[in-house]
Homo-oligomer: A and B are copies of this chain.
Amino acid sequence: MTRVWRCLQATGAASRTRTRCFTTSAPRQEIRSIAELPPRVNPGFTETKRHDLLALGWPSPPRNILFVRKDGDRVVQEALLEYTKHVKSTYPDTNLVFEPYVAKQLHEYFDHPVYTINENGSNTPYHEKVDLTSTLGGDGTILHAASLFATAKSVPPVLSFSMGTLGFLGEWKFPEYKRAFREVYVSGAPCHLDDQPPPAAYSDGGAGPQTSSTGGWSDIKGKKMGRSRNSRILMRNRLRIGIFSSTGERLPHEPPFAHADNQCEDIFALNEVLLHRGALPHLAHITILIGSPPHQKTLTTAIADGFLVSTPTGSTAYSLSSGGSIVHPLVSSLLLTPICPRSLSFRPLVLPANTLITLRIEEQNRGKEIEVSVDGVRRKEGLRTGMEVRVAGEEVRTAGAPGARDWFGGVPSIVRSGGAADGEDHWVGGLNSLLKFNYPFGEDG
Contact = CB atoms under 8 A, between A and B. Distances in A.
Interface of A: 50-52, 165-168, 274, 276, 278-282, 290-291, 294-295, 297-305, 312, 315, 318, 320-328, 330-333, 335, 339-352, 354-355, 371, 373, 376-378, 398-402, 423-425, 428-429, 431-445
Contacts of A378: 279-281
Given A280-B378, A297-B429, A345 B400 contact: no
A53 to B, nearest CB: 10
A342 to B, nearest CB: 5
Nearest to A350: B327
Given A278-B278, A281-B276, A328-B351, A345 B423 contact: no
A175 B431 CA distance: 37
Contact of A346 (B332, B425, B437): B437
Nearest to A442: B165
Contacts of A342: 321, 440-441
B278 A279 contact: yes
A344 B278 contact: no
Given A331-B331, A343-B441, A344-B347, 19 more contacts: A276-B281, A279-B378, A280-B378, A290-B428, A291-B425, A301-B440, A322-B340, A326-B347, A328-B349, A328-B351, A328-B355, A331-B350, A331-B351, A345-B435, A345-B437, A349-B431, A399-B400, A399-B402, A434-B441
Contacts of A294: 423
Given A325-B324, A378-B281, A440-B342, A290 B352 contact: no
B437 A344 contact: yes
A373 to B, nearest CB: 4
Given A50-B295, A295-B50, A332-B331, A321 B350 contact: no
A345 B345 CA distance: 5
A344 B439 contact: yes
Given A294-B423, A326-B348, A440 B303 contact: yes
A399 B434 CA distance: 35
Contacts of A425: 290-291, 295, 297
Contacts of A325: 324-325, 335, 347-350
A428 B288 CA distance: 11
A323 B320 contact: no
Contact of A321 (B305, B312, B330): B305
Nearest to A400: B401
A332 B429 CA distance: 23
Contacts of A276: 281
25 contacts: A165-B442, A274-B281, A278-B279, A279-B378, A281-B376, A282-B376, A290-B425, A295-B423, A295-B424, A297-B428, A315-B350, A321-B342, A325-B350, A327-B333, A328-B349, A328-B351, A328-B352, A332-B332, A344-B347, A344-B435, A346-B437, A400-B401, A433-B443, A434-B442, A436-B436
A344 B341 contact: no
B279 A279 contact: yes
B442 A373 contact: no
A326 B349 contact: yes
B341 A321 contact: yes
A355 B352 CA distance: 18
B290 A345 contact: no
A357 to B, nearest CB: 11
A276 B428 CA distance: 24
A430 B165 CA distance: 27
Q: 10 closest pairs, A vs B, by CB?
A: A344-B345, A399-B401, A321-B340, A165-B443, A325-B325, A279-B279, A327-B350, A436-B439, A345-B345, A300-B438
Nearest to A330: B352
A443 B344 contact: no
Contacts of A344: 320, 344-347, 435-437, 439, 441
